[in-house]
Amino acid sequence: MTTYGVFTMARVPMPDMMFCFALTGAVAAFIATEFDGRRWGLALLYSMIGVAFWTKGPAALLALAVAVGYTWATHGWAGTARRLALAPGLLLLVLVVLPWWLLDAAAGGGEFTQRIVLNDWLLWYFPAGKSSWRAVTDPIGQALTILLPWATLLPLAVWSALRTGGRESPRAMPLLLIWAGTVFFLVAVSQQQRMRYYLPLCPPAALLVAAWCSGRTSAHRRVALVGGWTVAALGLCLWHAHASARHNEATDLRVIAREISQAPKPLYAFDVPELVLGFYLERPVELLPDSARLQSLVAEGRSGYLVIADRALPGALASRLHRLGGGRVNGRPLSLFND
């Protein structure tokens, strides 16, 4: 509850918290079956995967990957299908998610199939095949950020679990490591990287840190907590200073502000966020909704200033307008024209 990810996403109207809840519930149902022998847990496992599927599509199979990974590691392939009742379980999962396909068929949903099933549910998660160093650093940075402030203690917790082999909890520790490792790896290799995608990593990471803290004396816990929070606070301060500098450099409207201050004329914008212009330039901005409205404005010869993103500037209009200067908004170049 005190990780940055859970604290922030619980207050955002997006499906990620519901997805994390369903995924965690599915793993908890698997634990009830595997550790306590409660066979009803398998039905709950596949049902919760179905709920997660309704929330964010095939990403719900993360929970099944965790269950398969742990069962294979402890019982081998021969016992995996039997212990997880894969055949009836997958049938139950199909029945839970079947209404999606029925609704699609009833709506004649070619567009639904293309945009949701193929683009959002499948192609969205395919590995991007990136070869740059950011393919490695981005997932690590996203995961550590969402786990703050406990991310500073997580390496110690993981190292302790690997070093001791879970002697005090010989079944629980391997499960937590497989749970956290599976979620991180499968999200890290997906094409799209968002911090909120690593939200399902919070429960196993929290349990690993809690297990590590429980094995320390009260004095050691205090030192670790104070040190961890201090490192997190210093890191956030440095990151904020760096991010603020980069953000400020990405937006530069000084030339435009100087030019439009010389004569009071209406200010129009095309393919530029007018709220940003209005805030920085401190004057009303009229947004032109499409290129037809832009061409009509130029053809009428109406007096005023026109701010256009360079990427959207038609060549035919450039020769009919007088460019006064340029600037940047969120790193994107734009130009100021006069009639």
Instruction: Tell me how far apart the alpha carbons of residues 47 and 49 are, in angstroms, rounded to a whole number.
Output: 5
pTM of the predicted structure, to 2 decimals: 0.66
Of 178, 235, 173, 221, the closest CA to residue 201 belongs to: 178
Instruction: Return the pLDDT at 233.
Output: 72
Instruction: Return the pLDDT at 79.
Output: 75
Of 305, 297, 318, 319, the closest CA to residue 255 belongs to: 305
Instruction: Give the burial class of 266: count Cβ atoms within 10 A of its Cβ; 0-12 exposed, 13-18 middle, 19 or more buried.
Output: middle
Distances (CA, A) of 296 to 186, 270, 317, 323: 51, 13, 11, 18
In this structure, what are the phi and psi dihedrals at residue 263, rounded to the nearest 5 degrees? -150, 130
Q: Is 23 helix (H, G, I), strand (E, B) or coil?
A: helix
Instruction: Return the pLDDT at 203.
Output: 93
**Residue type, position 35, single letter:** F
Q: 204: Cβ–Cβ under 8 A, 6 or more apart, which residues?
A: 176, 179, 180, 183
Instruction: Return the pLDDT at 12.
Output: 83
Instruction: Return the pLDDT at 129.
Output: 53
Instruction: Return the pLDDT at 88.
Output: 82
> Is 334:257 a contact under the CB 8 Å cutoff?
no
**Residue type, position 184, single letter:** F
The dihedral through the CA atoms of 276, 281, 286, 292 has a sign that is: negative
Instruction: Return the pLDDT at 182.
Output: 94
Instruction: Return the pLDDT at 24.
Output: 94
Instruction: Return the pLDDT at 219.
Output: 73
What is the Rg, in whole angstroms, of the alpha carbon atoms belonging to the chain? Answer: 27
Q: Can you give the pLDDT of all 339 residues of the chain as single tens digits?
A: 688 888 888 888 888 899 999 999 999 999 998 888 887 888 898 889 988 988 888 888 899 999 999 999 888 887 787 788 777 888 888 887 777 667 666 665 566 666 666 666 666 666 655 556 777 788 888 888 888 888 888 888 888 888 876 666 677 889 999 999 999 999 888 877 788 899 999 999 999 988 888 877 777 767 777 777 677 677 667 766 766 676 667 788 888 888 888 888 888 888 888 888 888 888 888 888 877 787 787 777 778 888 888 887 765 465 567 888 888 888 788 888 886
